[in-house]
């Protein structure tokens, strides 16, 4: 399929987060339509293209609680940070958060970078070590997860972190709350999840 979306905007700044170098990428039209099963199997599409909580999905898949290792909380101000274009919907100054999602036993399952309004992030992440889904659930925050793009590509940093060979599948989406964008999230999933979801491509 033809690429329809650029994963980063025109910033010349090298991002300090783990974006994929895409072999293929698609936008909202691909997200809504879905992919051929030969490109991405149905179970993987449910994880990547669905609007449910990945933290909750990972917990259900593994049978273990999903925990978060926060590896970065950086004020990026008005910089676009090499993020997807939708970062412009997040009010300035912006704060970037990076985490690993892992099982209690230590298996890394996903990586996520997110961008927040720095002036209001503490209202929603009162305990920054909790998964976003758990933090917002505790606050009974009503959300809409708006998946904007999907990627298939390489990242040497994620190969080391996941201890898995790429390419990897990832996505980015906006969280909406009270009709306003709350945060932009970029996620990449480990191929380790084949243990639960089966092969990424359907033969």
- Its pTM stands at 0.85
User: Under CATH, what is the fold of the domain 41-197?
Assistant: Chorismate lyase (3.40.1410)
**Dihedrals phi, psi of 60, to nearest 5 degrees:** -70, -35
pLDDT of residue 158 exceeding 50: yes
Longest dimension (CA), the chain: 48
The predicted pLDDT at position 126 comes to 53
User: What are the CA-CA distances from residue 40 to residues 34, 43, 103, 156 (Å)?
Assistant: 9, 8, 24, 22
CA distance 200 to 41: 5
Using DSSP, state whether 41 is helix, strand or coil. coil
The predicted pLDDT at position 41 comes to 95
Q: Which one, of 95, 90, 93, lies nearest residue 74 by Cα?
A: 95
Residue 134 — very low, low, confident or very high, per pLDDT cuts 50/70/90?
low
The predicted pLDDT at position 143 comes to 63
Reading the block at residue 199, the tokens are 């092969």
Residue 124 — very low, low, confident or very high, per pLDDT cuts 50/70/90?
low
Reading the block at residue 192, the tokens are 């380790």
**What is the mean pLDDT of the segment spanning 170-192?**
90
| More confidently predicted of 98 and 128 | 98
pLDDT of residue 6 exceeding 50: no
Quick: pLDDT tens for 53-89.
Answer: 888 899 999 999 988 899 988 999 998 899 999 999 9
**What is the mean pLDDT of the segment spanning 125-140?**
54
CA distance 118 to 91: 8
Beta bridge partners of 119: none
């Amino acid at each position: 399929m033809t690429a329809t979306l650029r994963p980063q905007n025109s910033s010349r700044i090298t991002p300090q987060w783990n974006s994929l170098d895409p072999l293929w990428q698609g936008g909202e039209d691909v997200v809504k339509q879905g992919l051929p099963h030969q490109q991405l199997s149905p179970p993987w599409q449910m994880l990547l293209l669905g609007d449910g909580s990945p933290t909750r999905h990972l917990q259900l898949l593994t049978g273990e609680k999903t925990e978060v290792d926060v590896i970065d909380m950086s004020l990026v101000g008005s910089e676009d940070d090499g993020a997807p274009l939708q970062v412009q919907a997040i009010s300035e100054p912006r704060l970037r958060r990076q985490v690993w999602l892992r099982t209690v036993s230590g298996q890394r399952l996903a990586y996520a970078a997110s961008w927040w309004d720095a002036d209001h992030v503490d209202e929603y992440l009162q305990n920054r070590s909790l998964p976003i889904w758990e933090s917002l659930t505790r606050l009974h925050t009503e959300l809409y997860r708006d998946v904007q793009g999907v990627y298939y590509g390489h990242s040497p940093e994620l190969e080391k972190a996941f201890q898995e060979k790429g390419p990897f599948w990832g996505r980015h989406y906006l969280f909406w709350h009270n009709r306003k964008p709350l945060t932009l999230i970029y996620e990449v999933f480990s191929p380790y999840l084949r243990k639960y979801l089966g092969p990424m491509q359907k033969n």
